[in-house]
């Protein structure tokens, strides 16, 4: 896709903003965010400077998994609005120079999708083969030991046709059979239908699952995964000037080039999660965190920067709708919320790749301190609570893990103001608002030139003004330092240096000759620096970037 000498695309200098529609802005007082609510906030997003808006699923759905269980690919969930509302949002966004990216969920559907209703009605129905069915094991029971990401067996018995169907997520999310060419054709037609409506691309949910080979217990990176993606590219977006991002929990630096390398013609980029999963417990996964380890984080980020230096393209993100809030996970939400949030933004946005901002990240929203399991709404959290307690974990320890890493941390309502329900709704919100909304909200942030929001706005602008940020070669420095993340970006004689203190303490270090420069301070979360001498002292969570003379 690119490199210092590769193809240069418009979205390389763009910043993408993810919206979780259910929690963004409610226009009709039903307690649920909606499309007109998003449209009402477009001026806010334009002022921030973002170029593309990725919407988590807005399709018709029974909402077993908050829209990732789709019952009609060509309709809008009524609680979110109508197709007319969607078309108006797209046109109003375009009028302000922004595009809309849809969340493409084609590994599975809802069990209420007409395809599945027909598929389960009879083994002889032509749509039966749109899903993955197997006979019971000899002696009864599931055909094999595959498990669901939400806990329990990945197989559910359907008595109407006497077979088990596969669901790698909720039992109400049956997996589609991508080996069926008629299914693939239906999906491509649907994708083109949305592209023709003027969208700017797709974010592709668990796209590394579609090539699965269940009889061999292969879930990700199946033998035909890339055949399907190349076919998809050819049949849909390949000749259109759009952005495609694949969610690929299994991606490695090597396999990333299979998706986004310039010879492959598959996707613009992928989301990889190595920097996320390396902080999970080996047994309990994300429900029991490991202590934060900057050395490991630097190692992972540097590995991906170098692997995709000359081909492919990195997506850059701290959070999304499935992950904890960035400042709570990687920063210091209690001691240095302002400084650490700005530091994290600086480190991420000055790397090579396309940055993603998750709603509320730009104002420093934090994890939610729920004290009872009844406050959670996420199906994964509720399922895992039951399973982990059955396995012997205490309720207190599970809640601690959920408060640190559960998906509802990202799903509490956007904090617009210090008014009732944070300005999200005049009704009763579908999930509780974080209690700190009186302090952390967009209204306060916009009016403060030193706010986290203003810092994000400046970083977004810098990406458009300096080619070294977009295409410069990455090199890490001071790699063994336990608290400092330092890297340079270089392009055509320009050199940018980035320093970030990931700790709550003052740090003083001696700088090697190659890091001693004078120049212009592009951005800082303390006072500007124009010169780096032999010794450098950094305040807690300080971060800055200098463009060398």
Q: Write the DSSP symbol of residue 17.
A: E
- Across the chain, what does the average pLDDT equal? 95
Could you report the per-residue pLDDT of 177-197, keeping only the tens digit for each? 999 999 999 999 999 999 999
Q: Are 400 and 370 in contact (CB under 8 A)?
A: no
Candidates 34, 111, 247, 266; catalytic one: 247
Q: 114-166 — its CATH code?
A: 3.90.400.10
Q: In the structure, what pLDDT confidence band is assigned to residue 6 with cuts at 50, 70 and 90?
A: low
First to last CA, the chain: 30
Does the domain spanning 473-548 belong to CATH 2.60.40.1180?
yes
Please tell me the predicted confidence (pLDDT) of residue 4.
Answer: 43
Candidates 69, 79, 158, 205; catalytic one: 205
Could you report the per-residue pLDDT of 8-52, keeping only the tens digit for each? 899 999 999 999 999 999 999 999 999 999 999 999 999 999 999
Residue 284 pLDDT greater than 90, yes or no: no
Residue 316 pLDDT greater than 60, yes or no: yes
Could you report the per-residue pLDDT of 422-436, keeping only the tens digit for each? 999 999 999 999 999
CA angle 385, 390, 392 (to 5 degrees): 100
Question: CB-hemisphere CA count at 13 Å for 6?
Answer: 19
Q: Which long-range contacts (CB under 8 A, 24 or more apart) does 80-88 make?
A: 80/21, 80/22, 80/32, 80/33, 80/34, 80/35, 81/34, 81/35, 81/36, 82/35, 85/34, 85/35, 85/36, 85/39, 86/35, 86/58, 86/197, 87/197, 87/198, 88/35, 88/39
Q: In the structure, what pLDDT confidence band is assigned to residue 521 with cuts at 50, 70 and 90?
A: very high
Could you report the per-residue pLDDT of 433-482, keeping only the tens digit for each? 999 999 999 999 999 999 999 999 999 999 999 999 999 999 999 999 99
Could you report the per-residue pLDDT of 129-181, keeping only the tens digit for each? 999 999 999 999 999 999 998 889 999 999 999 999 999 999 999 999 999 99
Where helices occur in 166-321 by DSSP H, the ranges are 181-195, 225-235, 253-260, 274-277, 294-307
- Write out 44-105 in H/E/C secondary structure: HHHHHCCCEEEECCCEECCCCCCCCCCCEEEEECCCCCCHHHHHHHHHHHHHCCCEEEEEEC
**Domain limits of the chain?**
14-111+177-458, 114-166, 473-548
> By percentage, how much of the chain surpasses pLDDT 90?
85
Looking at domain 14-111+177-458, its CATH architecture is Alpha-Beta Barrel (3.20)
Fold agreement between 14-111+177-458 and 473-548: no
Please tell me the predicted confidence (pLDDT) of residue 277.
Answer: 86
Residue 205 annotated among the catalytic residues of the structure? yes
């Amino acid at each position: 896709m690119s490199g210092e000498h590769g193809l240069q695309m418009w979205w390389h200098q763009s910043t993408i903003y993810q919206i979780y529609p259910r929690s963004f802005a409610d226009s009709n007082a039903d307690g649920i965010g909606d499309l007109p609510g998003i449209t009402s906030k477009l001026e806010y997003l334009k002022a921030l400077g973002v170029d593309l808006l990725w919407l988590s699923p807005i399709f018709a759905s029974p909402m077993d998994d908050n829209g990732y269980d789709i019952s009609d690919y060509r309709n809008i969930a009524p609680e979110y609005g109508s197709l007319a509302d969607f078309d108006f949002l797209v046109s109003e966004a375009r009028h302000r120079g922004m595009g809309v990216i849809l969340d493409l969920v084609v590994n599975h559907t809802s069990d209420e999708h007409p395809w599945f209703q027909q598929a389960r009605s009879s083994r002889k129905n032509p749509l039966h083969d749109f899903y993955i069915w197997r006979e019971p094991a000899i002696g009864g029971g599931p055909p094999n030991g595959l498990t669901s990401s939400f806990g329990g067996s990945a197989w559910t018995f359907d008595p109407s046709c006497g077979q088990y169907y596969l669901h790698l997520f909720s039992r109400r999310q049956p997996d589609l059979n991508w080996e069926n060419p008629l299914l693939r054709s239906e999906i491509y037609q649907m994708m083109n239908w949305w592209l023709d409506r003027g969208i700017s691309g797709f974010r592709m949910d668990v796209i590394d699952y579609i090539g699965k080979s269940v009889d061999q217990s292969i879930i990700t990176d199946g033998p035909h995964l890339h055949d399907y993606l190349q076919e998809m590219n050819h049949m849909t977006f390949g000749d259109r000037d759009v952005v495609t991002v694949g969610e690929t929990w299994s991606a490695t630096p090597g396999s990333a080039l299979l998706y986004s390398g310039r010879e492959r013609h598959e996707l613009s980029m992928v989301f990889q999660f190595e920097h996320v999963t390396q902080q999970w417990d080996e047994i309990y996964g994300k429900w029991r965190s490991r202590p934060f380890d900057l050395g490991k984080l630097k190692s992972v980020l540097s590995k991906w920067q170098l692997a995709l230096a000359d081909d492919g393209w990195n997506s850059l993100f701290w959070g999304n709708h499935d992950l904890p809030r960035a400042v709570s996970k990687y920063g210091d939400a209690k001691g240095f919320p302002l400084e650490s949030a700005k530091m994290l933004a600086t480190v991420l946005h000055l790397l090579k790749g396309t940055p993603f901002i998750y709603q509320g990240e730009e104002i420093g929203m934090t994890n939610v301190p729920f004290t009872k399991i009844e406050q959670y709404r996420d199906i994964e959290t509720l399922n895992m609570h039951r399973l982990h307690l059955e396995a012997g974990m205490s309720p207190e320890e599970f809640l601690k893990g959920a408060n640190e890493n559960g998906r509802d941390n990202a799903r509490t309502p956007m904090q617009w103001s210090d008014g009732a329900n944070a300005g999200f709704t005049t009704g009763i919100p579908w999930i509780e608002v974080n209690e700190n909304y009186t302090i952390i909200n967009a209204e306060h942030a916009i009016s403060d030139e030193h706010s986290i929001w203003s810092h994000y706005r400046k970083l977004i602008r810098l990406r458009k003004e300096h080619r070294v940020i977009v295409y410069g070669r990455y090199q890490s420095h001071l790699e063994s330092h336990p608290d400092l993340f330092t890297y340079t970006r270089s392009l055509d004689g320009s050199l940018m240096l980035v320093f970030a203190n990931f700790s709550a303490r003052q740090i003083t270090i001696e700088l090697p000759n190659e890091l001693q420069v004078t120049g212009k301070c592009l951005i800082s979360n303390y006072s500007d620096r124009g010169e780096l001498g032999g010794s450098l002292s950094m305040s807690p969570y300080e971060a800055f970037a200098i463009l060398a003379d």
